[in-house]
Each structure stands twice: as C-alpha cells, then as structure tokens.
Amino acid sequence: MNRRESLKLLASAAALAATPLSVRAAMAQTTTPAAPAAGPFTLPPLGYAFDALEPHIDAQTMMIHHDRHHAAYVANINTFAQQVPALGTTPIEETLLNPDYLPLQIQQGVKNNLGGHWNHTFFWELMTPGGATEPSGDLKSAIEASWKDANEFKDKLSAMGVGRFGSGWAWLVLNKEKKLELISTANQDTPVTLDAKAIIGVDVWEHAYYLSYQNRRPDYIDAWWNVVNWPKVAERFAAAG
Ligand code: MN3
C-alpha cells in the first residue's frame, strides 16, 4: 500500500467513525443476511409462514434458519458454481456421491454447502402446521415391524439426535437392504453419501433451536415431533421403497 492509499484508508475509517450509530446499524443490517448470489441454486420458499410452527418452533428461529443459514449455503454453493460451472448442471445427489470432478481444494466446501442446501430443502418440507401427529398406513406397519410402536420409534430417533455430539442431523432412512434404520450424520453430511434414502431428518444444530430452547436439545426434539408432516413422510417412504 502506498502513502496515498493509506491516507485514503485512514480517511474512510475516520468517515465511518463519524457516521451516526443508527446509519451504521442499518449498513450492518444490509450486509448481515447472505447476499442472494445469482446462480443455478436457489433458496426454496418455506411453504408456510415463519410463525406457523409456533409454539413449537418460534418465528425468529425459522426466519434466521431459512433466510440466513440456508440462504448462506445457497450463496456459497453458487460461488463455487461460478468457479466450476459443471457443479450447476450436475444433479445434487450425483455431486454429493461423486465429487471427484471438482478441484480438491473446493471439495470440502462443496460438500458442506451443497449438503446444507440438500438437508434444509428436505427439512422444510418435513414440517407443517397442524396435521396428523402419528404415522399411518404402510409407514406405520413398517415402523411397527422394526420397533414396538411409533412411540418407541420416536424415542429412539430422538435419542439419536440428542446423542449427536456437536452439530448434525438424526435420520430415519431406508438403507440399501430396503430396511428402516436410524442414523446420525455430522455437520451437513447427508444420507445420500451413505447410499440411504432419507425418510425423516431432524436438524440438531444449535441454530435450529437455541433461541427458544438454549441448551435443552431434548426439549426441542420433543416439541419438533408436533410439527412433523406425516403425509409427506409417508410419501417419501413410498417413493424410497
Ligand atoms: Mn440448520
């Protein structure tokens, strides 16, 4: 940096310091949500209002989770797609399963952000205000073939989520042998890479519950069962079989 550049930097720092606090707060706000970077990946709409899942999941949590966390995964994956256009034309599952066409140095970043995009798209559809609170039909029979009843199944999946150390997800999947199985993945890892079809997935990252439940992850998961979209779960189970 030459002298003129450093003087300019000092001048802009001084100007910022002189800017009224209210204006600086507004400036900060406009940069807080992830910029909706243009590209092949888009943030899917939530499909219901932010406050639709209250009192179980609060509106502010839903807004931040969808409009900032998920939006950031989408923005980041679009940035990667600018570097590697093939990323934007390859089906998401295919990239997650076989990221070898990507440069080594972006593979982890793609896995995190594309996985985050996949997981959250799955997650929003899995929740609904009101509706059934129990599985039915073929899904109910399948659950009862693997567990004593729906309650035992829910307890086991809840325990899987509570037991996930740090950030991640707990899942009901249909595995390669076409059997229902409970698994947990770290961070934004998906069941896709485990050759399993996701049927139910619960986000146990702190960002999914901390505003209402703080450190009480078990309470969040208990409440979360109230908003599960069982017809959607049944639909996924039928499609996976
Ligand atoms: Mn999340």
Show the domain range for 206.
20-26+56-241
Q: How far is the CA of 44 from the centre of ligand 1 (A)?
A: 14
Ligand 1 geometric centre to CA of 21 (Å): 32
Residue 3 has pLDDT above 70, yes or no: no
CATH of the domain at 147: 3.55.40.20
Distance 143 CA to ligand 1 centre (A): 26
The mean pLDDT of the chain is 89
Residue 10 counted as domain residue: no
Please indicate, yes or no, if residue 37 is contained in any of the structural domains: no
Nearest Cα to Cα of residue 109 among 141, 72, 156, 60? 72
Cα of 189 vs centre of ligand 1, distance in Å, is 12
Predicted confidence at residue 131, as pLDDT, reads 78
Q: How far is the CA of 182 from the centre of ligand 1 (A)?
A: 19
Length of the chain: 241
- Alpha helices in the chain, H assignment, sequence order: 3-18, 21-31, 59-64, 71-83, 86-89, 92-97, 104-125, 137-146, 150-163, 210-213, 217-224, 230-240
CA of 42 to the centre of ligand 1 (A): 16
pLDDT number for residue 132: 78
* pLDDT tens-digit map of 170-204: 999 999 999 999 999 999 999 999 999 999 999 99
How far apart CA 73 and CA 223 sit, in angstroms, is: 26
Q: How confident is residue 35, by pLDDT bands cut at 50, 70 and 90?
A: low
* Residue % of the chain over a pLDDT of 90: 81
Q: In what order do the strands lie in the sheet with 197-203?
A: 180-186, 168-174, 197-203
The CA distance from 149 to 155, in Å, is 10
45 within a domain of the structure (yes/no) = no
Asked, for residue 153, whether it belongs to a domain, the answer is: yes
pLDDT, tens digit, for every residue of 153-164? Answer: 999 999 999 999
Dihedral in degrees, nearest 10, Cα atoms 137, 143, 144, 145: 110
Q: How many domains does the chain have?
A: 1
Distance 205 CA to ligand 1 centre (A): 6
24 has a pLDDT exceeding 60: no
pLDDT in tens, 58-102: 999 999 999 999 999 999 999 999 999 999 999 999 999 999 999
pLDDT of residue 38: 81
Assess whether pLDDT exceeds 80 at residue 16: no
- Is residue 23 classed exposed, middle or buried when 0-12, 13-18 and 19+ CB atoms within 10 A define those classes? exposed
